[in-house]
A and B are shown apart, each in its own frame.
Chain A
Amino acid sequence: MQPSQTPRLELIGITKRFPGVLANDQVTFSVLAGEIHALLGENGAGKSTLVKMIYGVMQPDAGEIRWDGKRVVVTNPKAARKMGVGMVFQHFSLFEAMTVLENIALGMDASIPARDLEAKIVAVMRQYGLKLEPHRIVSTLSVGERQRIEIVRALLLNPSLLIMDEPTSVLTPQEVDQLFIVLRQLAAEGCSILYISHKLHEIKALCDTATILRGGKLVDTCDPRVETSRSMAEKMIGGSLKDIQRGASKGFGADKLVVQNLSVAKDGHFGIPLRNISFRVRAGEIFGIAGVAGNGQNALLLAMSGEVPCDDASVTVDGVKVGRMTAKQRRLAGVASVPEERNGHAAVPEFSLSDNAILTARDRLGMVTGGMINKRASVTYAGEVITAFAVKSTGPAALADSLSGGNLQKFIMGREIMQKPAVLVVSQPTWGVDAGAAGAIRQSLVDLAATGSAIVVISQDLDELLSLCDTLAVINEGRLSKPMPVADAKIEEIGLLMGGVHGEGAIHAA
């Protein structure tokens, strides 16, 4: 590839603003013909937004996109496909009860007779060694095979740029190898590939160039074959976090929450199974679980809250086995939890705050006598939570979905914390919450720990975990790393673990 060559795709000063967030800030880079170009970054770094603009799903607020040297405005995905851009989404939505052929036909912009289409599909599959039976029903296919449908669909349009969004997150190692072979062949034929990922070893193995984004800004464009995983991880996460000081000599009590070899089967096609997770949290300790979204965080929270049952001995609280207990029993045993999704999971949007208090506090706080709810107790408790956590609302009668995200989150956190749980498990406690509320929520966690509770914080926000937690572990593909005291934690180490590179090389394709 000569430097003089006109790039296939050029992004110049691309900026995209959402209410309250600058998703992309002056991003500039280019992709050459036949190049496999990685787009690397944490969640929220702005990768998806950027790609959506290239594919015509959104329009940039500023900056320009050039295609083969000419300035273009991509109005919609159809225009993008016409231009020669194909995209394979991370969560492809296929029509389950229909055949592979029918699914591909539905996704084509033009109507092609079934027989011609089948011939074309067979030709494309033969060319790239993709195995797929056109007449199979999609519901009988593995996730890898489903992804192949999307790839074939994209390839039928002879794209000159193929965008792959986290393509390996749902694949087995063998499927990943096969995918890489196809991508390399495509690149050799001159098709450019924009490969979105946070997995460092994959990028080293596959890509010619890597563009690293952090907080919407371009950090670096580098050659991943020259860089080390460590250096890329540092760029992805940023060096600004090094001066974290945590009182290391804080004394902890006895083990409160012990998780031993917890395994949970995966739920649905895009679910992540939990594999042999073990950790312990002592009284007064805040235990952080870092990781990129979609690596089993949801499954872990559900297994902790009791919404998904697990082996009896895999979870113990104060020495009592709670694994097989229901959500209600776990709460009585002292385990409180706050799931990531506020609306519809942690709270019922169209219920009042006092009714939402009943949802999880009714048994521990004696709001129920003889099957009847003591409304006054729930209103009183909701009022106490509102006051103690400075929830901005019209009072206990306010509907949950009339509150801002931050205020509803403060209410939910308060609802659990004021029940004085022995163990509190929270996921993304400050996701989408303004800075003031986030500070208050973190403070409340520290205060709860000070009273002797054990706390687990699952978060994608590394800053948050490093400033809040005593101990930290990283979750990746449903496995939990060895816990480390935050005081001793090294940022590159965490970055490598998040990128799926384990110190011992325990993971495939290290």
Chain B
Amino acid sequence: MRLKLEKRPEPSLLMLVAAPVASVLLTMIIGVVVFDLIGIKGAKAVMDIFLTPILSPVKWQDVAAKAAPLIIIALGLSVGNRAQVWNIGAEGQYVIGALAAAGVGIAAGASGGPDVLLLMIAAGMIGGAAWGGIPALLRTRFNVNEILSSLMLTYVALQVLGFMVGGPWKDPNGRNFPATAPLADNQTLPIIVPGTTIHLGVAVAVILPFVFWILMSRSVFGFQIRVVGSAPNAARHGGFDAGRTIWLAMLIGGGMAGLAGSLEFSGMLHKIDLGFPSGYGFTAIIVSFLGRLNPIGCLVAGIVMAVTYVGGQMAQTSVHIPNSTAGIFQAMMLFFILASDILVRYRVRLLPSAKTVGAGE
């Protein structure tokens, strides 16, 4: 027997919507079974990871804080992925964005307020875009594979961060810990829900998906991205330049990652230390695919991802499993989504193994 893929005449709409939901459910079921098998209370673990964060309002602010950077980065990456430009260096762009914002904050000294904050965020976007521009330059000038170059640059960015917070920008009052000085109150993003940690960046993460949705579905730019991704020759025929598209995709991906970095810095953490890069840039790639490269999908997928993060922390104390166990679930969701992607576009059929008939003269 062998599997055969048959292209459907039109993508199945039912599968398109049902697949992500089914993926999450399947992941939960498998989680219960597997955890029970290895002697952990599976139902409790899965409950904690997937449902408790949603059911207990005190956890919502944690979910929101985790979801915001994931959503913002995933939005930018989805643009590139749609154009078949593979930026996997968002983690580095996120870090450089935060550093750029920190640099502006430090340069501003004691002054603060909306102007300085706007400058910090703009610097974050420019920093991230510049870091994302390097792979674009290498790709368009020397035909360097952007997957490899953007990945490598991430690790360079991490070392830049290590150097800056351990050297020039080290907090003089920080008992020699490698970290920047905490931001003064006039340089932090305002909290929008009093009494919580929900800062202005969360609002940005809620609004941006709709902006991107309009951009991708209504603008010439979005059209260009979609054409280049699905039919490069037709794009050329329609007058769209491939090199420009690569640049745009990388700059937007980098800019969004930089934005997320500067918001996380100015809204949530208020200082940069060695723990600042927490893998959002990598997880956002998964969010982007989980959301099917659709801006609204990214919003939903970012929240689901954040839920599993927060839930993972809860399960750590309730059923004593490591924090990173949530990663198993995140990966499984993606595995199922990627697998089901094929079901949207193809029918899978089992065929008896084909052997050549007769050999004869």
- Is A326 a contact partner of B220 (Cβ separation < 8 A)? no
- B12 near A: Cβ within 8 Å? no
CA distance A360 to B227 in the complex (A): 12
Q: List 6 A-B contacts (CB under 8 A).
A: A326-B239, A328-B238, A329-B239, A348-B231, A359-B234, A371-B219
- Is B361 a contact partner of A72 (Cβ separation < 8 A)? yes
Which B residues lie within 8 Å of A72 (CB)?
361
Contact with A along B311-347 (1 / 0, CB 8 A): 0000000000000000000000000000000000000
On whether A327 and B236 interact (CB within 8 A), knowing A73-B358, A75-B356, A79-B359, the answer reads yes
Which B residues lie within 8 Å of A363 (CB)?
239
On whether A348 and B227 interact (CB within 8 A), knowing A359-B234, A368-B220, A375-B218, the answer reads yes
On whether A345 and B356 interact (CB within 8 A), knowing A359-B238, A373-B223, A375-B218, the answer reads no
- Is A373 a contact partner of B358 (Cβ separation < 8 A)? no
CA distance A362 to B227 in the complex (A): 14
CA distance A348 to B230 in the complex (A): 7
- A124 near B: Cβ within 8 Å? no
- 4 new A-B contacts at CB < 8 Å, known A70-B361, A344-B231, A346-B237: A307-B237, A326-B241, A331-B239, A345-B231
- Is A348 a contact partner of B234 (Cβ separation < 8 A)? yes
- Is A327 a contact partner of B239 (Cβ separation < 8 A)? yes
On whether A339 and B237 interact (CB within 8 A), knowing A73-B360, A372-B218, the answer reads yes
Min Cβ gap B202→A in Å is 28
Min Cβ gap A298→B in Å is 11
CA distance A351 to B82 in the complex (A): 14
| Chain A interface residue number, banded | 35 or more
- Is B10 a contact partner of A402 (Cβ separation < 8 A)? yes
| Interface set, chain A 367-419, CB cutoff 8 A to B | 368, 371-373, 375, 399, 402
Instruction: Count chain A CB atoms within 10 A of each CB in B11, B219, B220, B356 and give the residue with the most.
Output: B220
Contact with A along B350-361 (1 / 0, CB 8 A): 000000111111
| Interface set, chain A 58-99, CB cutoff 8 A to B | 70, 72-73, 75-76, 79, 83
Which A residues lie within 8 Å of B361 (CB)?
70, 72-73, 79, 83
- Is A75 a contact partner of B231 (Cβ separation < 8 A)? no
- Is B220 a contact partner of A360 (Cβ separation < 8 A)? no
- B210 near A: Cβ within 8 Å? no
Min Cβ gap A386→B in Å is 18
- A229 near B: Cβ within 8 Å? no
- Is B234 a contact partner of A372 (Cβ separation < 8 A)? no
Contact with A along B211-243 (1 / 0, CB 8 A): 000000011110100110011011011110100
On whether A372 and B227 interact (CB within 8 A), knowing A75-B356, A344-B233, A344-B234, the answer reads no
Q: From A337, A348, A372, give the contact of B219 (CB < 8 A).
A: A372
On whether A358 and B223 interact (CB within 8 A), knowing A305-B237, A399-B10, A402-B9, the answer reads yes
- Is A350 a contact partner of B218 (Cβ separation < 8 A)? no
Chain A residue nearest to B239 in the complex (CB)? A328
Q: From A75, A360, A372, A375, give the contact of B238 (CB < 8 A).
A: A360
| Interface set, chain A 290-308, CB cutoff 8 A to B | 305-307
Contact with B along A346-367 (1 / 0, CB 8 A): 1111110001001110110000
- A341 near B: Cβ within 8 Å? yes
- Is B358 a contact partner of A75 (Cβ separation < 8 A)? yes
Min Cβ gap A404→B in Å is 12
Chain B residue nearest to A326 in the complex (CB)? B239
Min Cβ gap A250→B in Å is 32
On whether A345 and B223 interact (CB within 8 A), knowing A73-B361, A75-B359, the answer reads no
Contact with B along A298-322 (1 / 0, CB 8 A): 0000000111000000000000000
On whether A76 and B356 interact (CB within 8 A), knowing A344-B234, A350-B230, the answer reads yes
CA distance A160 to B221 in the complex (A): 59
- Is A347 a contact partner of B234 (Cβ separation < 8 A)? yes
- Is A345 a contact partner of B10 (Cβ separation < 8 A)? no
CA distance A350 to B9 in the complex (A): 10
Min Cβ gap B158→A in Å is 34
Min Cβ gap B344→A in Å is 12
CA distance A417 to B221 in the complex (A): 26
CA distance A351 to B222 in the complex (A): 13
- Is A371 a contact partner of B236 (Cβ separation < 8 A)? no
Contact with A along B22-48 (1 / 0, CB 8 A): 000000000000000000000000000
